[in-house]
Amino acid sequence: MKKDKILVIGACGQIGVELTLALRKIYGDANVLASDLREEHDLLKGTGPYVTLDVMNKEQLHVLVIRHNITQIYLLAAILSATGEKNPLLAWHINMQSLLNVLDIAKEESIDKIYWPSSIAVFGPNSPKETTPQHTIIEPTTIYGISKYAGERWCEYYNHRYGLDVRSLRYPGLISYKSAPGGGTTDYAIEIFHEALEEKTYNCFLKESTYLPMMYMPDAIRATIELMEADKSRITVRSSYNLGGMSFSPKEIAAEIKKHIPEFTISYEPDYRQQIADSWPQSIDDTLARNDWGWKPEFYLEKMTADMLKNLPATLQ
């Protein structure tokens, strides 16, 4: 039997750090090669092999895959929604070319499995807002959403045309305390915890009533690993699965934080990110993920808030 050798690209980002550590626990430290443009993240140091890699450099990526006998690739490098709006052509270029480089090398080298995340940003203002279905109107209006939707089509194409085992999830906004977020519209739901602990007040860049689909990082990591470990026969969606966790507004999360920090106050000053948030769903229908490979979230607002406030202080010192 071939031994799994995993390459994580974008391993120093918000998801990459935690996913790399989780994969190392399962597959063994030496079998998970972490890579990123950036310097190695402090939390990864001493936990396993690390290389600097620019995924846009196809030749460098190809050599790395061959040299390390890679059998699975997790591609996490991307330009996120809010950052993408500042430089749309760059976001399109990086988000598309990184995926095409990985898919093409994976095909050529017969890589066993590929993971690439999509996002709820594929949905647009004409999609149903509540319990947004897997298959519905998809007309994204951000360059990030457009690149994710195009990416989904490429993933399905490589699966149908070449039999490549590509798997993908449409993550909601992800909330975590270990590594910093990378410039998304849902980052407010992380900033609010930092400011609540340090300043006891937060000025939110979204309106108080803006509901968005969200997920706590432990659920997102578990979903990713459960999808990747599911038997091939159970994967019926080869574009990207809708994935649901919780849904709340800035007002609701502020009220939940206030239960722990009574003096906490929040104010609202919506900026350009309000328009992005308004184009997205408020909640997600993830029936297919639940039925196909048994997805079930464990964290909702109350449990997540308590866990964030318990664990975040240690990372702020």
Residue 144 annotated as catalytic: yes
Distance CA 16, CA 221 (A): 10
CB of 74 to ligand NAD, least distance (A): 9
Distance CA 268, CA 259 (A): 20
Distance CA 301, CA 248 (A): 8
User: Which of 8, 13, 113, 213 is in the footprint of ligand NAD by CB under 6 A?
Assistant: 13
Confirm if 307 and 216 have CB atoms less than 8 A apart.
yes
Residue in the structure block whose two tokens are 């994935």: 243
Q: Is residue 240 involved in binding ligand NAD (CB under 6 A)? A: no
Q: Is residue 150 involved in binding ligand NAD (CB under 6 A)? A: no
Per-residue contact string for residues 154-173; x = within reach of ligand NAD by CB under 6 A: -----------------x-x
Task: Determine the size of the site formed for ligand NAD (CB under 6 A).
Answer: 28
Q: Is residue 53 involved in binding ligand NAD (CB under 6 A)? A: yes
Distance between terminal CA atoms of the chain? Answer: 46
Q: Is residue 239 involved in binding ligand NAD (CB under 6 A)? A: no
Q: Is residue 184 involved in binding ligand NAD (CB under 6 A)? A: yes
Residue tagged active-site, from 50, 144, 211, 216: 144
How many Cβ atoms from other residues are within 10 Å of residue 290's Cβ?
Answer: 16
Q: Is residue 103 involved in binding ligand NAD (CB under 6 A)? A: no
Identify the DSSP state of 176.
-
| Cβ-Cβ contacts under 8 Å for 291 (sequence gap 6 or more) | none
| Residues making contact with ligand NAD (CB under 6 A) | 9-10, 12-16, 36-38, 53-56, 76-78, 80, 94, 117, 119, 171, 173-174, 181-182, 184, 186
So which residues are the catalytic ones?
Answer: 144
